[in-house]
Structure 1
Amino acid sequence: MKSIFFFDAMLTPKIITLVYWLLLAVAVFSGLGAMFSDYGGGFLVGLGILIGGAVGARIWCELLIVLFKIHENLQKIAEKNDQ
């Protein structure tokens, strides 16, 4: 608990995983809703929302995780140089 309160451990990567699953669920429900509604634009638009939303959510979350991985590696390098 101390590492979280003093920012020694990152909490955000764990939250990003949850955000990814929420975004994926939104993409699936939006895509399915557009596929089977008369107002949404049809099957192909819904399929585009489904695939584009899933891929977009994955790319966005991976880019955020990469930033935290860079931070972890820089911490390791800094600790190694301090010794």
Structure 2
Amino acid sequence: MKDLLFFDKMLTPKFITVIYWLLLVGVVIGGIGIMFAGYGFSFAAFFSGLMTIVFGAILARIWCELMIVLFKMNEALQDLRYK
């Protein structure tokens, strides 16, 4: 408990996985919305929605990995400080 109160242990890395899955669900819902928005079927809208899903998922993954790298760097620096 003391680690959390004095910010010796980070809480956010545990939430990054949850945030990633929420982002992924949002990207898929947005992509499907783009695919089937409007009247009738359009190849351009379908392709645009598909690309939104693919690139949105990749960008969400990259963003979450960068956040994890920052926290891993913090942990490594904390280990060096306490040794």
TM category (shorter chain) comes to 0.7 to 0.9
CA separation in 1, counterparts of 2:4 and 2:82?
Answer: 19
User: Is 1:71–2:60 an aligned residue pair?
Assistant: no
Residue type of the partner of 1:35?
M
Which 4+ runs in 1 deviate beyond 4 A? none
Distance in 2 separating the partners of 1:31 and 1:46:
4
What TM-score does the superposition give when structure 1 sets the normalisation length?
0.86
2:6 is aligned to 6
Aligned match for 2:65, one of 48, 62, 65: 62
User: What is the aligned length?
Assistant: 79
Counterparts of 2:73 and 2:3, CA distance in 1: 19
Letter of the 1:31 partner, please give it.
G
Runs of 5+ unmatched residues, structure 1: none
Give the Å deviation of 1:2: 2.3
TM-score (norm 2): 0.86
CA distance in structure 2 between the partners assigned to 1:36 and 1:59 by the alignment: 27
What percent of counterpart residues are identical?
56
The CA RMSD over aligned residues, in Å, is: 1.4
